[in-house]
Structure 1
């Protein structure tokens, strides 16, 4: 989300982008900042960033000074950092001029799978996942890497709508998926799993540096017992490996394990469609490492205006 093309994608959907690069004392830092206008003011957001090389304690104050300048120019009421790992500041958020944000905008945890050769990759999975991948092949499920034509993107968008309606979550508009594929070029793939001549599931995956990422995916209500979703992810991992990635991010699991969340009202078992427990099980059984991201950091320039904006849902991520 700190990649150039992610910024270009967001500019097509109402965000303004500023890219800040500072070097000092043998260290350097980069932050891609997304600005969203909220009336006469704006919100500044750095998703999965900043990126720091060298001594964070040396470079961070210079980075923040540069970010403060950009935020003042764009009348930002708050700057939100949502790092992809510990920044190594050697102190608290407050020492660095930040407070802990009240809510995440990106998933708090994910699963990172090392992209080994096929045999060790399969061996690292839960036996039930290996079984489902082989079951899909046995039942004639096929996976194809599709060109992002209008028809293919329309099919994918319909899968997303079906899945969202079944499970009660929000999705992007069709144009967003189209733009994502255009911006990504050869560093993204659209894959479909077919069973019985019908599209059973679809996914978009991308490569960012040495990491493949499962970005978006959906499935139909038919053929769910054929293991199509398992074979689909396996093929997406193989594509990412071919593109030079050494790991694959399954992009988000629940904040707490199902055993911890059990008993919290509707936190695990939902009345509609798949539940959070199913999502957790599906992703964690591919054999990866569960990674927890740091909490968001907020630098509030205008606390009163910020409080009003958050109360009315005007503070959000990308």
Structure 2
């Protein structure tokens, strides 16, 4: 019924982008960008009896050190209709044939399929012989891609999009739009600026950052075909100055109006509040003029990499300066990137992995707080699966090595404790 089909890279990518279950991580552009970290790829597609393409997959392979074996990873799974169980079985058959040629010990998949709509697919994958890793937390280190991500529906006009945000976040976005920052699509030459911001962010938030070659590889493979853009946010002092002057003029009218009211406690309190706002604006004006004198061309405050694939957009990496955070550059940037992605045909905007409703003392609480205010909903995917091809190597690589690593970490902790 189904047979393998040869597609050009352009045809393969077009099928991925057009398919409802297509994903950025199935594009050949993405697979090519992984060569820097030791991966190589093969791909296939299959047709039905009418010669219509029904499914496609990009298979990533990585050699296992000291063993004549590879890991086969089909990131975000086969691109096909998972409700068609015969089709999924045919996709697996082709994947197994290629994986065996590459001496893979397992085929790992993690389809971007919501649990609520694909319970049948989950059970079918088990019937076909896949081992399910369970319903892992979105920030679990036991999976390659997060099972839970936060996704915003951006298929709406600007007013509706803004209205979908939580109230406090709407206020911040509106404020950010008029604070004097500019969001723009940057070029490859601006990647060093972004990497410097990433290092600053990593030091502030306590995480390791990537070398510039990693981001250059991603950009070089994804940008030419419109699958990635670098965004930067610049604070423009002259814009800030003009905005503050405008606010001062409006405030002076309010003060004049309040002064004409009858004397009383209410009037005094109102004038006191307005005077406090005026003092704050005067300080902002002085700051804008100092920045203008020191940095007449402005200062880059934030940056992000936005990826695009068909109807999906992805917020991949974000970074920001420690300075001038009151100008809310990230809020301005997120709104503009959503608008840009929507205008390019995206219907959803994926903020990436999250631990759902963590406790306040959890290290993931801040990330959850940030992502939940953008009109997002939790995308609960069916999880990660392994189709085991060489069980002894699988047991050693997937079970034995993690146990050994955890034991080693525990031993080091015990030794450290004894020394202390």
Deviation of 1:43 (Å): 0.5
Aligned CA RMSD, in angstroms, stands at 2.3
Deviation of 1:235 (Å): 1.0
Question: Could you say which residue in structure 1 is the equivalent of 2:377?
Answer: 289
Question: 2:168 pairs with 110, 113, 128, which one?
Answer: 128
Which stretches in structure 1 are left out of the alignment for 5+ residues?
Answer: 270-275
Question: Could you say which residue in structure 2 is the equivalent of 1:251?
Answer: 352
Deviation of 1:234 (Å): 0.7
Equivalent residues of 1:56, 1:87 under 8 A apart: no
Which stretches in structure 2 are left out of the alignment for 5+ residues?
Answer: 1-24, 135-141, 236-290, 292-297, 404-420
Equivalent residues of 1:212, 1:240 under 8 A apart: yes
Question: Could you say which residue in structure 2 is the equivalent of 1:106?
Answer: 145
Question: 2:331 pairs with 214, 217, 230, which one?
Answer: 230
Question: Could you say which residue in structure 2 is the equivalent of 1:312?
Answer: 401
**Structure-2 change in CA distance of 1:121 and 1:210 (3 Å):** same
Deviates more, 1:45-54 or 1:289-298: 45-54
Deviates more, 1:217-226 or 1:284-293: 217-226
**Structure-2 change in CA distance of 1:54 and 1:313 (3 Å):** closer
Equivalent residues of 1:24, 1:58 under 8 A apart: no
Cα distance in 2 between the residues matched to 1:24 and 1:56: 12
Query: Is the helix fraction higher in 1 or 2?
Result: 2
Question: 2:61 pairs with 35, 40, 43, which one?
Answer: 35
Question: Could you say which residue in structure 1 is the equivalent of 2:86?
Answer: 58
Equivalent residues of 2:308, 2:346 under 8 A apart: yes
**Structure-2 change in CA distance of 1:37 and 1:29 (3 Å):** same
1:200-241 deviations in whole A, cap 9, x for unaligned? 210010210022211111112222232111111111111112
Question: Could you say which residue in structure 2 is the equivalent of 1:139?
Answer: 179
Deviation of 1:53 (Å): 3.1
1:155-205 deviations in whole A, cap 9, x for unaligned? 111111222233233433211211222222233221112335322210010
Cα distance in 2 between the residues matched to 1:82 and 1:203: 25
Output the TM-score relative to the length of structure 1. Answer: 0.86
- 1:1-318 aligned at under 5 Å gives the runs 1-24=25-48, 28-39=54-65, 40-53=68-81, 55-85=83-113, 86=118, 88-89=120-121, 91-101=123-133, 103-115=142-154, 116-149=156-189, 152-184=190-222, 185=224, 186-195=226-235, 197-254=298-355, 256-258=356-358, 261=359, 268-269=362-363, 276-310=364-398, 311-312=400-401
Deviation of 1:54 (Å): 7.2
Equivalent residues of 2:85, 2:124 under 8 A apart: no
Cα distance in 1 between the residues matched to 2:103 and 2:380: 32
Equivalent residues of 1:145, 1:191 under 8 A apart: yes
Deviation of 1:307 (Å): 2.5
**Structure-2 change in CA distance of 1:89 and 1:54 (3 Å):** closer
**Structure-2 change in CA distance of 1:73 and 1:221 (3 Å):** same
Equivalent residues of 1:77, 1:301 under 8 A apart: yes
Equivalent residues of 1:30, 1:51 under 8 A apart: yes
Cα distance in 2 between the residues matched to 1:296 and 1:65: 19
**Structure-2 change in CA distance of 1:63 and 1:137 (3 Å):** closer
**Structure-2 change in CA distance of 1:203 and 1:166 (3 Å):** same
1:257-292 deviations in whole A, cap 9, x for unaligned? 12xx45xxx6x14xxxxxx22211211111122211
Output the TM-score relative to the length of structure 2. Answer: 0.66
**Structure-2 change in CA distance of 1:214 and 1:54 (3 Å):** closer
Equivalent residues of 2:305, 2:316 under 8 A apart: yes
Q: Secondary structure at the match of 2:56?
A: strand
Larger-Rg structure: 2
Cα distance in 2 between the residues matched to 1:170 and 1:293: 27
